[in-house]
Structure 1
Amino acid sequence: MARKTFISYKYSEATELRDKIVEALGDDSKYYQGETSESPDLSDRTTDYIKAQLKDMIYSTSVTIVIISPNMKESNWIDWEIEFSLKQIKRSERRSGTNGIVGVVMKHNGGYSWLRPSIENSDGHIAVLTKNEYLYDIIIKNRFNQEPPEYTCDVCKNVDMLTGSYISLIKEEDFLNNPNKYIENAYEKSKNTDNYTLCRQK
């Protein structure tokens, strides 16, 4: 089933990937509620005006896709958009649900090691590390927060990449090959928030 989605991204470096994601959604792109290349330029608008526009876009969605790019933290909006996505907002008689969130890691310099280098553990298993300095605190605090954790390896204490964290990090090419898989995974977690210790504030 298609989900209404919003894409949070740094405009100056991730617009091309945003467009690829919208294209990869295929027929489901009609449920996409965020900016497109045809959207009006808001750069000269006030902060309050921009926030109001973003709130309207995010409010009706159920999944937020966050593009993880090298200079993401320079954005004035991404962490706020994640925070708003996680909150339950009441308007009139309706309360929005907590959005599922999936991070799409941008390929940079031909790969993903800029954010997620791999190492081999002493038991021979490969572990993927994350350089948290590239991530907002609200993303870090919503990773490895399954409660109780379900380990795929009791020795390594590795968790499943899709269920072990509320905000999973997915390689750009994997997401583009099957966006519905990762959107549905994020949505399912949003319906089972009791399984996670959520941080809702940036």
Structure 2
Amino acid sequence: MKRRIFISYQHLDRMKAKGFNLLKHNKNVDVDFVGRHLLDPVNSTNEQYIKSRIKEMMHGTSVTVVLVGRETCDSQWVQWEIDQSLAKDHPNGIMAIRLEDARLPESCPVSDALRDAGAEIIDWDAHTFADAIERAAVAAGRVPTIKRAAAAAVDDESCAREASII
């Protein structure tokens, strides 16, 4: 079962967000998700309409992945998306991926929102994304995905067998 994630980013990082979304097609990276996002600009300046489109994209997701770039810190939209992710009937797990040009001071609107959400912040390393997404989902009380839960059950069974041999 693929985890459904919402991708939050500051508009200057749009190409990096598109690259992140494409990782699910890379055979060399073990990350599998259904990305929900607004990677294509909304053809409107109406704030309420834009917010309704974002909420529509968030619907049915279990994790919000915040891509943190150079200008993300003061983004009111990213902060709003984090707040909305937590305000859902079934709140999303929140995690952040620090892009190479990231600037995330101790105290700024997005840093504060991530800290308040208990978000894990990781550096860009595609090989760590799947586990970090899963940790965020589990932290929010979401059931582990079947693939990962099955792998954990096999590990538990192996440990139990090993313990009974000793």
Q: Find the counterpart in structure 2 of residue 104 from structure 1.
A: 97
How big is the shift at 1:21?
Answer: 1.2
Structure 1 length-normalised TM: 0.60
Structure 2 stretches lacking a partner, 5+ long:
27-31, 143-166
Structure 1 stretches lacking a partner, 5+ long:
90-96, 116-130, 143-165, 193-202
Counterparts of 1:109-128 in structure 2, within 5 Å, are 115=104
Question: Structure 1 or 2: larger helix share?
Answer: 2
- Which runs of structure 1 show a deviation greater than 6 angstroms over 4 or more consecutive aligned residues? none
Structure 2 length-normalised TM: 0.72
Equivalent AA in structure 2 for residue 167 of structure 1: A
Conserved? CA contact 1:63–1:101, under 8 Å:
yes
Q: What CA distance in whole angstroms lies between the structure 2 residues aligned with 1:103 and 1:81?
A: 13
Counterparts of 1:1-202 in structure 2, within 5 Å, are 1-12=1-12, 14-26=13-25, 28-29=32-33, 31-36=34-39, 39=40, 41-42=41-42, 44-89=44-89, 97-108=90-101, 115=104, 131-134=105-108, 136=110, 137-142=112-117, 166-172=118-124, 174=125, 176-191=126-141
Q: What CA distance in whole angstroms lies between the structure 1 residues aligned with 2:66 and 2:37?
A: 12
Q: Write out per-residue CA displacement over residues 36-87 of structure 1, whole angstroms, 9 at most, x where no aligned residue.
A: 3xx2x32633000000000111121001000111211342311110001011
RMSD between aligned alpha carbons? 2.1
Conserved? CA contact 1:70–1:134, under 8 Å:
no
Equivalent AA in structure 1 for residue 136 of structure 2: A
Q: What CA distance in whole angstroms lies between the structure 2 residues aligned with 1:186 and 1:2?
A: 14
Equivalent AA in structure 2 for residue 105 of structure 1: R
How big is the shift at 1:186?
Answer: 0.7
Corresponding residue pairs, total: 136
Q: What CA distance in whole angstroms lies between the structure 2 residues aligned with 1:54 and 1:65?
A: 14
Q: What CA distance in whole angstroms lies between the structure 1 residues aligned with 2:25 and 2:66?
A: 19
